[in-house]
Structure 1
């Protein structure tokens, strides 16, 4: 069946969602500005959210944020470049990550 979708709009530079706030979510999408989401990525890496989609317009900050998530136990499943701005050198990218469940 369908699950409830929760969304939140917040300034992640001033107040990132903490790993405790993220508990209980089945997945999340984050789409930061060109500066990336370093502090938010650190909180996500500490969380147990099983699925993460990271959207970025800056390959350098995306690589940095993905490294934080991978070091936190996430596995990078795919990265898809999206050329949505015709006649522009800019490319968006969507990365999908999974965190395996911990064995008890």
Structure 2
């Protein structure tokens, strides 16, 4: 497992939790802004699958790199249906098939919804 997050505090918390769970050597984490510096197709080659959960603006740059990679399994999580649709279209145009989209009512009594879907090619 390798996590990438732009917030240093989140990465530090993950590293501490992995250490406490005895997973320090099995869980990697790095601070990186994937909008400005996405993982390239070459960097993605070492992974079997990718799960991304971007901010409301979506993951345009990272999804473009995923689409050009050799990956065959992607899980997308999104809090914005419009950017989810845009990012899903990029993956579908690259040969991925989208599985069922599951809405998650993570914020009851609000208009916000999380969407989750797996893509395979």
Report the TM-score when normalising by structure 2: 0.75
Q: Distance in 1 between matches of 2:71 and 2:99?
A: 15
**Residue number in structure 2 paired with 1:77:** 99
Quick check: 1:52 aligned with 2:79? no
| Secondary structure of 1:8 counterpart | strand
User: How many correspondences in the alignment?
Assistant: 95
Tell me which residue corresponds to 1:6. 2
The structure number with the bigger radius of gyration is 2
Gaps of at least 5 residues in structure 2 are: 6-31
Quick one: distance in 2 between partners of 1:40 and 1:6? 15
CA distance in 1, matches of 2:71, 2:47: 6
Pairs within 5 Å for 1:83-94: 83-94=105-116
C-alpha distance in 2 between matches for 1:45 and 1:36: 15
Q: Give the Cα–Cα distance (whole angstroms) in 1 for the partners of residues 100 and 36 of structure 2.
A: 29
Q: Distance in 1 between matches of 2:57 and 2:69?
A: 22
What is aligned with 2:53? 31
Deviation at 1:82, TM superposition (A): 0.3
Distance 1:25 1:69 in 2: 17
RMSD of Structure 2 on Structure 1 (CA): 0.9
In structure 1, how many angstroms separate the alpha carbons of the residues matched to 2:72 and 2:49? 6
TM-score, length of structure 1 as denominator length = 0.86
Tell me which of the two structures has the higher relative contact order, counting C-alpha pairs closer than 8 angstroms and 6 or more residues apart. Answer: 1
